[in-house]
Amino acid sequence: MKHILVTGGGGFIGSHLVESLLEDDFNVVVLDDLSSGKRENLPDDERLHFIQGDVADHGLIDEVFNQFTFTHIFHLAAIASVHESVTNTYRCHQVNCEASLYLLEKARRCPALKRMVYASSAAVYGDDPVLPKSEDSPIRPISPYGIDKYTAEQYMLTYSRLYGVPAVVLRYFNVYGPRQNGGSMDGGVASIFLNKFLSDKRPVVTVYGDGQQTRDFVYIKDVIGATRFVMSHETAAGNVYNVATGRETSILNVIQGLETITEQKAQILFSEKRTGDIERSFANISRLRALGFTPQYTLLASLREYVAASGEIEHLQAL
């Protein structure tokens, strides 16, 4: 029996991807140490085989590849924390870079493999001021996290050229949506703000800087759509693609959108800008569009769906 491997499948993005694959009747193996993911993010399904373990454990990876035959590998497992990459650099390097290389070694010896998709990050672009960011923009990471992500990208592309591993690199921008951790400093800002709106009658949100800093916010359903799209596209292998909307949105615009949807007015506390925060960021997605994929969600439509995802509108009306 053939399977699809999703590393980090218990996490925010990974669990949505697993759901999408199961809906299309694939057999899925999830490897996740649950350091940030949750088992309850995944459904009980006979087509799903869950393995709790560390993606950097080479012995465990050997066992997984000996037990299963994979047609596709989605490598999403990571310590997705810039802060932790600064305070615990080598451990993050083991998970974010060395584990990726070891997976590639297994993948190149997997004759049934049709596609390997690597989840990278806009963090590789760093603080280069030229906008929008295209896949050919200068790479200037400002954290160990960004360095590890870019290094792993290069391994993916090199293994594609040298050994024929059908690898695709996706640079996710500011992803948000259900199951994202809104209570963590490493959670997306949209989810952090939404958590405030859903838990308080009069939400108080902290904005670092003046709120005019911008990001390219992309909804989880568009991210999964793009990820699934490159899974089977014939010419995607060996390439890098930005996964974003191509729209520049300010932090204050996100707050205003949540105010409109929830009919609540936020109290905004402006705090000192954090060291290392990038002022502006958004993507050029012409390469992904040329491949045939176009994101579907506007900011307001996605925020509305996000708020309603777990019956939260009813919760707000009851306050």
Which residues are designated catalytic? 145
Alpha-carbon distance of 188 to 66, in angstroms, equals 37
Tell me which DSSP letter residue 285 carries: -
Q: Read off φ and ψ for residue 121, nearest 5 degrees.
A: -150, 150
The Cα 112–Cα 71 span in angstroms is 5
Calculate the CA 13 to chain-centre distance. 5
User: For residue 3, which of 30, 23, 38 has the smallest C-alpha distance?
Assistant: 30
Backbone angles phi, psi at 22, to 5 degrees: -65, -35
Nearest to 173 by CA among 249, 87, 77: 249
CA distance 31 to 272: 39
Question: Is the CB of residue 116 less than 8 Å from the CB of residue 168?
Answer: yes
Kindly report the number of other CB atoms within 10 A of residue 34's CB atom. 13
- CB 70 within 8 Å of CB 49: no
3-class DSSP state of 127: coil
Give the distance between the most distant pair of CA atoms in the chain. Answer: 60
The kind and range of the H/E element at 158 are helix 144-163
Residues 244 and 173 sit within 8 Å (Cβ to Cβ) = yes
